[in-house]
Structure 1
Amino acid sequence: MHCSLLPLLVSLSPAILFLLPGIIVTQEGLWEDYKYGHGDQDNHNFCTWKCLLFTLQWPGTFCQSLNNVSLCRIPPTVNNWTIHGLWPLHAKNRCDCWPMFPSDVQELKAELTELWPSFVRFKSNFHFWREEWRKHGACAACVEGMNSPLRYFQVCIKLRAQFYIHSLLEDAGITPSCERPYKVEEVQSVLAPHVGDKLEIQCITDEQDRELWFQLKIRLNRNLTVGCDLCTDAEDALKVQPGSRPVPSPGHPCPDQVPFYYFPINHERPQRPCG
């Protein structure tokens, strides 16, 4: 398992000078390397994955994906699709050896709070972000441009702005509703020109056996262009070794032949937005 020394070294006393092969590095110098991602991006043997899943979640039906819906909350400021994560697929190494601290994303805190909130009562926003970095971001850090917590989350914010799903759907007349169901082909025809034809529209089934849309998975190449033909289906991507993959969600691809619902966000009753 490859593990960067920088996160470990920067946690030591600022008074210490570190002697590395051929160079002497101060604490301040190491911190700059750690924060902005220098010095560890050339280890290509570690960067075995080829594809990423950029996953967005819909707050209107997220609560139904929890085993205990009473744990769910939707902050009053959330009225749009939010980020779930950016996940390298088929990474062969566990990447949880690079710690993340609040200071790493302090300058992004306001944006992340809006675009990447936690909907679980006992899990703070930072807990959610740190969890996603540990499980997935540290594996993405082998790519220049994502090689620090700050840069990884900056990329996610830019992708969220690039894939402005709500407006694309709204312009096509696909809006949240408790009464009107939609078909997979309707949504695919609207989104595919913008997010690629390998998107996954993911549903959950509620207690009334209705299919509810709750996630959208966009497949990306390592350079963040849409597509990535080298990937297998998202379902197959979950079969890689434990600890190096996205955590399976309770969702499944929305059935092609069964209409699904795109429920509105209900801040007062997030567990039952449509009764």
Structure 2
Amino acid sequence: MFSPVLLLLASLTSLALTLDSDHSNADQHKKFCTWKCLKFTLQWPGSFCVGLNNSTKCKIPTSIQNWTIHGLWPSHVQDCCECWPIFHSDLKELDPELSQFWPSLLKAQSSFNFWKDEWIKHGSCAGCVEGMNSPLRYFQICLKLRKKFDIDRALNDDAGIKPSCNQSYQYKEIKHALAPITGDDPDAQIQCITDSKGREILFQVKIPLSRNLTFGCHDGRQDAESESTQHWNTYSAHPCQLKSSIFYFPINYNNPHQPCG
């Protein structure tokens, strides 16, 4: 039988561990959950490969014909929680939609590994919000946002801005066409890359959202590029130049690195 002293010591040890755990959880919450805004980022596959530093890295599946998801990123958060694992089985029911609207465009990276990286880097912080507090819920939200912010329809169908190697567009034309999606929010960005011939090429659109996923959010801080630039050593993404002609290259499945030569 344990003595009263030993029982008291065991009880105090247990209490100390509980308090340490609570303190650790509070620290984690403070680190990962203080963000106010998100950026929902969509990319054009026809431009993605142009910016890669190695032409052999890229692939575009022939099933991909529309704008795809790049990510949903809480703003100004570093090093989200790697302790929140994700498994392919978590996304089994979403796999067909994710493969269509959120594919990996890198030969060396499977689509699931792309999703896994996005969850670890960004989704685990977004999981602080009730509606995104699991891998399944986070990716469900991203797919819903992709349907809501339909860039293909806004450009091609509504404004007649179609991919072309020969025709370019003025920034104001693209801005006007995307106004229903980006509005006049100063944190919304229409981004381009510049190819080896100096052409400005439409690449991606960043849409600011609040924690409750309503459009528009501004926390008064300068937004940094939310995604790793390790693959973008050749031509980096930047806000499209207001007075430049902007190309909207078509997808070239056989030569994605130079879709227009």
Q: In which range does the TM-score fall when normalised by the shorter chain?
A: 0.7 to 0.9
Question: Deviations 1:88-133 (Å, cap 9, x if unpaired)?
Answer: 0012663222111101111100100000001100100001000000
Alignment partner, residue 210 of structure 1: 199
Larger Rg belongs to: 2
Alignment partner, residue 227 of structure 1: 216
Aligned with 1:237: secondary structure? Answer: coil
Matches within 5 A, 1:99-248: 99-170=85-156, 171-198=158-185, 199-232=188-221, 236-238=222-224, 245-248=226-229
Do the aligned residues in 1 keep the contact of 2:163 with 2:249 (CA within 8 Å)? yes
Do the aligned residues in 2 keep the contact of 1:212 with 1:261 (CA within 8 Å)? yes
TM-score, reference length from structure 2: 0.82
Matches within 5 A, 1:6-21: none
- Alpha-carbon distance change, 102 to 68 in structure 1, aligned in 2, over 3 angstroms: same
> AA paired with 1:195?
T
Alignment partner, residue 30 of structure 1: none
Structure showing the higher helix proportion among its residues: 2
Tell me the CA shift for residue 161 of structure 1: 0.3
What is the rounded CA distance, in whole Å, between the counterparts of 2:163 and 2:70 in structure 1?
19
Do the aligned residues in 1 keep the contact of 2:40 with 2:71 (CA within 8 Å)? yes
Do the aligned residues in 2 keep the contact of 1:202 with 1:215 (CA within 8 Å)? yes
List gaps (5 residues or longer) in structure 2. Answer: 1-13, 16-24
Q: Where do 4+ consecutive residues of structure 1 move more than 4 Å?
A: none
- Alpha-carbon distance change, 130 to 92 in structure 1, aligned in 2, over 3 angstroms: closer
What is the rounded CA distance, in whole Å, between the counterparts of 2:170 and 2:125 in structure 1?
35
> AA paired with 2:95?
K
Equivalent residue pairs, number: 228
> AA paired with 2:162?
T
Do the aligned residues in 2 keep the contact of 1:64 with 1:271 (CA within 8 Å)? yes
- Alpha-carbon distance change, 173 to 107 in structure 1, aligned in 2, over 3 angstroms: same
Question: Deviations 1:175-209 (Å, cap 9, x if unpaired)?
Answer: 11111111221111121223332321111111101
What is the rounded CA distance, in whole Å, between the counterparts of 2:180 and 2:195 in structure 1?
30
Alignment partner, residue 18 of structure 2: none
What is the rounded CA distance, in whole Å, between the counterparts of 1:257 and 1:181 in structure 2?
12
What is the rounded CA distance, in whole Å, between the counterparts of 2:85 and 2:103 in structure 1?
20
- Alpha-carbon distance change, 230 to 202 in structure 1, aligned in 2, over 3 angstroms: same
Matches within 5 A, 1:67-82: 67-82=53-68
Do the aligned residues in 1 keep the contact of 2:80 with 2:122 (CA within 8 Å)? no
